[in-house]
Amino acid sequence: MKNMEDLDWRILRIVEICLKNHEWVPIQEIVKKAKLNQNEVSYRISRLVRIKMLNTSQYGYRVSHWGYDALALDTYSKKDLIVGMGGKVGVGKEGDVYNVLLPDNRNAVLKFHKHGRTCFTMGKRYRNYLADKRHISWLYSSRLAAEKEFEILTALYPIVKVPEPIANNRHTILMGKIEGTDLKKANLLNLGVNPEELFNEIIEEVKKAYKLGYIHGDLSEFNILINNEGDFVIIDWPQVIELNENKFKLEKITSKEVEYDAESYLKRDLGNLLRYFKKYNIKRDLDTIYDYIIN
Ligand SMILES: Nc1ncnc2c1ncn2[C@@H]1O[C@H](COP(=O)(O)OP(=O)(O)OP(=O)(O)O)[C@@H](O)[C@H]1O
Ligand SMILES: [Mg+2]
């Protein structure tokens, strides 16, 4: 990014905009939008290709993963939302999470959604907002996932224990950092946490989220972070199941389907929790907890 000149940024942004209508953007299109002569545009494009901000094919150009990351980071930096960036906190199946520094010196994290990095399948359940668009680009689906996750965090925070949503740009979300580890790696007894109390507290959060109209959909010991004081947050919400009826009507999903989805996803989330807490000798009845949550 340090090597990027103003005109490089301009061309990169133009390619990004043109991708709304093109799978690959032809050079003529870029020349037209940039209002620069063809030589200048060719020069800028060759620079961007060389530093891997653009991908190229016989049909034209498109923004690479790096290019899209750079555009997002540049926006955060210009808006003074992020003043520094550190190392990776975690690598997920569908994105990377980095430490960042906010202008007020607070630590936060920046999550990059990266669909289709390894293969072009939707790893999670995105039907809610992707509808029939199965052949959309990774760029578009990553952006949708980040927007969705940010929307959910905003709806849930601070009622439900989730990271504080700070900002969203393109395929990224900026959010509060929890200094801790996921339940999978944590040893509750070493942390001085009473497993039964923690289990009950998590169920309360699941119930609050449900009341607000959301089921996590991928809840497990990997998506609950806990710190040394035993405070926890539930992360990783893009595959949420929304219970808002109007939304489903718009997407022509029948209420029967919704009910089935809601029940099966909530039960799966609860099943994952019960499985994890078994090692702490907590044995509870899934249907009883399910009824407690939905009533
Ligand atoms: N707010 C946060 N504070 C601290 N660490 C975080 C935060 N959000 C995410 N992480 C770290 O990054 C990892 C990946 O985050 P997350 O689960 O949201 O991404 P993901 O790509 O959807 O993951 P996966 O698909 O593998 O579940 C987490 O397991 C955690 O270690
Ligand atoms: Mg995760």
CATH of the domain at 35: 1.10.10.10
Q: Whose CA is nearest to atom 24 of ligand 1?
A: 92
Domain assignment present for 52: yes
User: Which pLDDT score is estimated for 90?
Assistant: 76
The CATH number assigned to the domain holding 83 equals 3.30.200.20
Catalytic one among 69, 218, 236, 269?
218
Residue 27: DSSP 8-state: H
- Residue 209's closest CA among 224, 194, 197, 196? 224
Domain assignment present for 28: yes
User: Which pLDDT score is estimated for 95?
Assistant: 79
Domain assignment present for 202: yes
User: Which pLDDT score is estimated for 120?
Assistant: 41
Tell whether 186 and 288 lie within a shared domain.
Answer: yes
Q: Whose CA is nearest to atom 8 of ligand 1?
A: 235
Q: Ligand 1: which of 142, 235, 239 to mutate, judged by most atoms within 8 Å of the beta carbon?
A: 235
Tell whether 56 and 81 lie within a shared domain.
Answer: no
- Residue 237's closest CA among 92, 65, 117, 102? 92
Closest-approaching ligand to the CA atom of 122: 1
Closest-approaching ligand to the CA atom of 124: 1
Partners of 169 in beta bridges: 172
Tell whether 269 and 284 lie within a shared domain.
Answer: yes
- Rounded Cα distance between 114 and 258, Å, is 28
Tens place of pLDDT per residue across the chain (295 aa)? 999 999 999 999 999 999 999 999 999 999 999 999 999 999 999 999 999 999 999 999 999 999 999 999 999 999 999 999 999 997 777 679 999 999 999 999 999 998 865 444 444 544 444 444 444 688 889 999 999 999 999 999 999 999 999 999 999 999 999 999 999 999 999 999 999 999 999 999 999 999 999 999 999 999 999 999 999 999 999 999 998 765 555 555 666 666 668 899 999 999 999 999 999 999 999 999 999 999 9
For residues 271 and 286, the answer to whether their CB atoms sit within 8 Å is: yes
Closest-approaching ligand to the CA atom of 117: 1
The CATH number assigned to the domain holding 214 equals 1.10.510.10
Q: Whose CA is nearest to atom 11 of ligand 1?
A: 90
218 flagged as catalytic = yes
User: Which pLDDT score is estimated for 257?
Assistant: 67
Tell whether 162 and 194 lie within a shared domain.
Answer: no
The set of residues, in sequence order, having a beta carbon less than 8 Å from that of 83 and lying 6+ positions away, is 77, 101, 102, 103
Domain total of the chain: 3
Domain assignment present for 250: yes
Partners of 56 in beta bridges: 61
Structural domain range at position 168:
68-176
Please give the number of the atom of ligand 1 that sits closest to the Cα of 114.
21
Final residue belonging to a domain, choices 159, 176, 193: 176
Domain assignment present for 279: yes
Q: Whose CA is nearest to atom 12 of ligand 1?
A: 90
Q: Following DSSP, what letter does each residue of 202-226 receive, concatenated? A: HHHHHHHHHHTTEE-SS-STTSEEE
Domain assignment present for 1: no
User: Which pLDDT score is estimated for 115?
Assistant: 82
For residues 232 and 224, the answer to whether their CB atoms sit within 8 Å is: yes
User: Which pLDDT score is estimated for 256?
Assistant: 64
